[in-house]
Amino acid sequence: MADPPSRSEQVRSSTDMPHTTGTPDPVSSGSPEPVAQSSIDELPVLQADDVSTDDDRSIEERMFLHTLPRYLQAPLTILLSMADVTMLSDLDDEMDRLDLAHAMNVKAIGNRLFLAPINKERVHMILDIGTGTGIWAVEMGDIFSNAQVYGNDLSAIQPSWVPPNVKFEIDDVESEWLDDRKYDYIMCRYMLCSIGDWPKLVRNIFKHLTPGGWAEFQDMDSLYYSDDDSFTEKHATFKWNKTLVEAMNSINRDSQPGPKLLDWVVETGFENVNHQKFKIPIGPWAKESHFKDIGLLNLAQVLDGLDAFTTRTFCGVLGYTKEEVLVTLSEVRKELNTAHMFHAQWDLHVVYGQKPLSEPEDSE
């Protein structure tokens, strides 16, 4: 009799799965199929828009001309951040950048806050790891009004005016979790460059889930690339991005956790694991309006964080002088603000899985 397939051999493409809408899907009353699903196949190449590279309108002008009508209901902070390149030294500006990244992420995965098949009637305890401004937790609190939503972070930058079922806590998820609460759903997103031991974090998340509970991870591979070879070593942005990624990886702050999430989740013991990958353009170069909007949002948040991210890493890790950083960023910013200079993008990975109803003895 043939040996059963390994868990890695059970992975199949999620392109065969139906795309879900913005509302939570009910969990099947039966046992879900015990197989990991993954969009590991190549995604379609994004087509570039037919726009002349000599168009003299700035990226900032394009942001307002293209996105303002579509985002009239967005928070004012998001709209304002599109018009200005700011530094993280100003906390308010960094909060705006985080909210902008949130809007980009939600749009990228189909205008959804999550992809895991959780059910409103069965989820009573939710945790948002590294909650940032708390925008995801607040929106989840509105949707899951019957659940208690917790958000933790190292910084107390969350609003005080929140739904009564939302609570924020100061906590370091890399340390031992002191609370003994069990959650029905845990979200962990955009923790790249923040975690030193990812397998440990995934194990802690598994430990603090109720049997049958779900965890979801949304993170990126921050190394830029292009499908059409328009983004190459000749570009200052290529060199800057590669240097930034390698510097963070050298100090054990993984800047590319996205592609590794599936293995970490499966190896921890999660079942019914699903992996999906989404292309995130950098700038409004894509032909399809959906990706053009995502590219505008992404470019805005990249520009907002450009100075602080680079200065902190290049000076603190690599020993650059501030003058050298200024020269580098001048070239990078010029390229990023030039429409169709290149067709760069990065990948967002979403992995979710379910804790078994019967917990293995060695799960902790």
Q: Which domains does the chain have, with CATH numbers?
A: 45-354 (3.40.50.150)
Q: What pLDDT sits at residue 58?
A: 55
Tokens (6 digits) for 357: 């109803």
Average pLDDT over residues 346-358: 96
Mean pLDDT of 180-184: 94
pLDDT score recorded for residue 60: 56
Say what percent of the chain tops pLDDT 70: 76
Q: Could you tell me the CA-to-CA distances from 147 to 20, 74, 127, 141 in Å, in that order?
A: 22, 25, 10, 7
Q: Which residues contact 274 (CB under 8 A, 6 or more apart)?
A: 14, 17, 36, 37, 38, 115, 116, 351, 352, 353
Q: Nearest 5 degrees, angle CA 249-CA 320-CA 195?
A: 25
User: Would you place residue 31 in the very low, low, confident or very high pLDDT band (cuts 50, 70, 90)?
Assistant: very low
Cα–Cα distance for residue pair 221/346, rounded to 1 Å = 6
Q: How confident is the model at residue 111 (pLDDT cuts 50, 70, 90)?
A: very high
pLDDT, tens digit, for every residue of 83-103? Answer: 333 333 456 778 888 899 999
364 vs 356: CA distance, rounded Å: 13
Task: Supply the Cα-derived Rg of the chain in whole angstroms.
Answer: 21
Q: What pLDDT, on a 0 to 100 scale, did the predictor assign at position 28? A: 32
Average pLDDT over residues 262-271: 98
Question: Can you give the pLDDT at residue 93?
Answer: 73
Are 260 and 198 contacting, i.e. CB atoms less than 8 angstroms apart?
yes
pLDDT of residue 51: 62
E strands in 226-302:
271-281
Compute φ and ψ for 75, nearest 5 degrees: -55, 145
Q: How far is CA 189 from CA 18, 128, 136, 194, 216, in A?
A: 23, 8, 10, 11, 8
pLDDT of residue 178: 74
**Average pLDDT, stretch 279-292?**
94
pLDDT at 9: 33
219 residue type, one letter? D
Asked whether the predicted pLDDT for residue 24 surpasses 60, the reply is no
pLDDT for the residue 34: 34
Of the given ranges (12-21, 98-107, 120-129), which has the lowest mean pLDDT?
Answer: 12-21
pLDDT for position 248: 92
Both tokens of residue 245?
Answer: 């990624």
pLDDT at 26: 33
Higher-confidence position of 72 and 43: 43
Over the chain, what is the mean pLDDT?
81
CA gap 318, 314 in Å, rounded: 5
Distances (CA, A) of 253 to 80, 256, 257: 31, 9, 9
306-327 mean pLDDT: 93
Q: Are 40 and 11 in contact (CB under 8 A)?
A: yes
What share of the chain in percent tops pLDDT 90?
59
Smallest CA-to-CA distance from 261 within 248, 270, 250 is with 270
Residue 12 clears pLDDT 60, i.e. is over it = no
* Mean pLDDT of the region 142-150: 96
Spatial separation of the C-alpha atoms in residues 200 and 101, rounded to whole Å: 26
Q: What's the confidence (pLDDT) of residue 176? A: 84
